[in-house]
Structure 1
Amino acid sequence: MKLPPLRALPMFEAVARLNSFSKAADELAVSQSAVSHQIKALETYLGEPLFQRSGRYLTLTDEGRAYQDSITSALLQIERASETLLGAPTSRLRLAVFSSFCVRWLIPRLPSLQRAHSQIDLALEMTSTSPQLSDRVADCFITINTSARAFSYDLLYRERLFPICSRQYWRHIRETLDLPPGDPADSRPLTPADIARFPLLSTYSIYDREAGDWDTWFQVAGESRPASTRIQHFSHMLMALEGARFHQGIALTNDYMLSEEADTDDVVRLPCHSLITGDSFYFAHKTSRRSEPALRAVRRWLIEQAIASGLRPARLPTDTGHTGPSLHP
């Protein structure tokens, strides 16, 4: 077995992660010259520069970035294997997840995970966009990106958007449209023309353009959004939902944003058509790590919670994009 200088690998991982020789030296409790010497020895062995140095600035080369992904994954697997043999009482997992999914769906359910798997220390890394699938970023992910071949994916949710407003604002809509008293479920379907009469709360990040969510919603019905429609712009769905809760108009939201029974005390779903965005949310992890007990437990728990909350059907069609092992291996 031909291996590189093993002492250099943790030093390389620390320098690459911290982007600093001095910070890596402090973390590893060695001198900066020792770190520099080990990195030079590793580069000599590999025959490739791993870092570009420009004055005080340090960046990974393309080769260094690719090497970092592999080395970080390998060191983590060594750490996990050692913890298992040592009988470590806890297993720490980093989960990268979209901020809205994390705040509105995942965090309210974490007590269930803690009761079922008290040995797992789950560290959440919230992201505003689909996270880069790399062990450098996290151990597992909730993502809409399924392009990384080294990963396995399990479907959690296919996104749809539907109009909602506060209960107080629903009364205003009823009075304006001369609808009979009662909940939206008892009302006649509202047409796009009905909806356009009220302020629409738009989330820019869904389609990355102003009013893109509402323009697409109208297009699904074969219509264009009237130019006279009043639009209130928000950068994030969490903000638009809060605007709706405080009676500012009608927002488009999805199922996981309203996954708790308490949510129905504040807002109501209007009797309108839904918009399928085309985004699907998956739990993802390195296929090579599929046997790790903590990863297996979190994966199983997430799928069970997605089914229980109605985000995912218990049985999936064959074209889900799922590339991981079954829930019951």
Structure 2
Amino acid sequence: MQLPPLNALRAFEATARLMSLSKAGDELHVTHAAISHQIKHLETWLGRKLLQKSGRGITLTAAGGEYYRAVSGSLAAIAHATGNMRRDHDMRAITVGCIPSIASRWLVPALPSFQESDPDLDVRIVYARAEERFDDESLDVLITMGEDLSGGRESRLLFSRRNQPVASRHYLAKRNWTIGDVSLAGADLLHDESVDGWKEWFRKAGQKATEPLRGPMFQDFNMLATAVIAGHGVALCPVEVFRREIERGDLLVLSDIATAENQGYYVISNSWAKKPVRRFIDWFMTECGSGA
């Protein structure tokens, strides 16, 4: 592996980027003369002229410009990898953005088990809106609806968003219904932000609903969940997210017909996420029964 003198390489990259021997010296904490000496050393080693005088300043030669483009990208990659390596070692906390429906049902209840398995790593949970996108300046992990197809992102499917009608036993008893004879067209419908979800369900089921669709509307999905569990009516809910409530019998699934079957909830991070972040994601995927 033919590598040039690395100190000379750093001096050349800084000078070419800043277009100044003096500024390069200030950045690298050496004198103007030391920078000039290192660049001449590199030019001798390469057998090519990299810089030339231009008035009172300097410019890159054609060979210098080509070499700078290669060198700057390589040094940036090394700096990025080194920073990640150091942060992996020094990292003491990660920030996780999570939409409330997943946070309240899955993340917050399970968090003590992660703290037991990884006691030196603190987890900061922040509120995330459903439309929020992953921003690696403020988040290490985002748990939300929909995947992120941007370059450099990794999206892992946590839950399907398959929505089916659910209600509590208390509600069915109040209406004197059993699961087999529920008439959803005559049910008290609960809506998540708009009536569009129920309209889509009735269309897919081939049933005619009473128009206009009535019933309370909830902007926050946790309020909708509270209402349906309390027996206020029938709601369209992502059955995987409500798996525990369904297994306990708090909610009953009233129909096999579903909407939003091709949508999902995802755990999103950088594809080069640090090891503590990957440990957290693997743990949470396992907690939710979505694999390691």
Aligned position for 2:185: 196
Task: Report deviation, 1:98.
Answer: 1.2
Query: Residue 84 and residue 243 in structure 1: after superposition, are their counterparts in 2 closer, same or farther (change >3 A)?
Result: closer
TM-score where L is the length of structure 1: 0.59
Q: How does 1:89-100 map to 2 (within 5 A)?
A: 91-100=92-101
Per the alignment, residue 67 of structure 1 pairs with none
Q: Percent identity?
A: 19
1:220 aligns with 2:204: yes
Matched, 1:253 2:270: no
Residue 149 of structure 1 corresponds to 151
- 1:44 alignment partner in structure 2: none
Q: Is the 8 A contact 1:157 1:282 kept in 2?
A: yes
Matched residue of 1:196: which SS? helix
- Paired with 2:174 and 2:287, the residues of 1 have a C-alpha distance of 36
* Residue-by-residue CA offset, 1:97-124 (whole Å, 9 max, x unaligned): 2121111221111122112222221111
Q: Label 1:242 to 1:84 Cα distance change in 2 as closer, same or farther (>3 A).
A: closer
Q: How far apart are 1:217 and its partner, in Å?
A: 0.9
> Unaligned 5+ residue runs, structure 2?
1-9, 25-75
CA contact (8 A) 1:154 1:283 kept: yes
1:95 and 1:113 map into 2 onto residues whose CA distance is 13
Q: Does 1:294 align with 2:283?
A: no
Amino acid at match of 2:159: Y
Aligned to 1:231: 215
Match of 1:270 in 2: 254
SS in 1 for 2:262: strand
C-alpha displacement at 1:254, in angstroms?
1.4
Question: SS of 1:278's equivalent?
Answer: coil
Partners in 1 of 2:128 and 2:105 — Cα distance? 14
The residue type paired with residue 226 of structure 1 is: T
SS of residue in 1 equivalent to 2:162: strand
SS of 1:225's partner is coil
Cα offset, 1:156, TM superposition: 1.3
List alignment gaps of at least 5 residues for structure 1. 7-70, 205-209, 315-326
Tell me the TM-score normalised to structure 2 length: 0.65
Return the index of the structure with the highest Cα Rg. Answer: 2
CA distance in 1, matches of 2:227, 2:134: 33
Instruction: State the shift of 1:246 in Å.
Output: 2.5
Is the 1:189–1:271 Cα contact (8 Å) retained in structure 2?
Answer: no
Deviation string, structure 1 residues 51-96 (Cα, Å, up to 9, x no partner): xxxxxxxxxxxxxxxxxxxx9xx89973x644555xx5x6211111
Runs of 4+ in 1 over 4 A off after TM superposition: 3-6, 74-77
- 2: CA distance, partners of 1:262 / 1:277: 18
Mapped partners of 2:81, 2:138: distance in 1: 12
1:49-128 matches, cutoff 5 A: 78=83, 81-82=85-86, 84-85=88-89, 88=90, 91-128=92-129
> Does the 8 Å contact 2:88/2:276 carry over to 1?
no
Q: CA deviation at 1:271?
A: 4.0
Deviates further, 220-229 or 99-108: 220-229
- Aligned residue number for residue 51 of structure 1: none
User: Could you say what the CA RMSD is over the residues aligned between the two structures, in angstroms?
Assistant: 3.0
What is the rounded CA distance, in whole Å, between the counterparts of 2:105 and 2:82 in structure 1?
32
Could you tell me which residue of structure 1 aligns to residue 288 of structure 2? 306
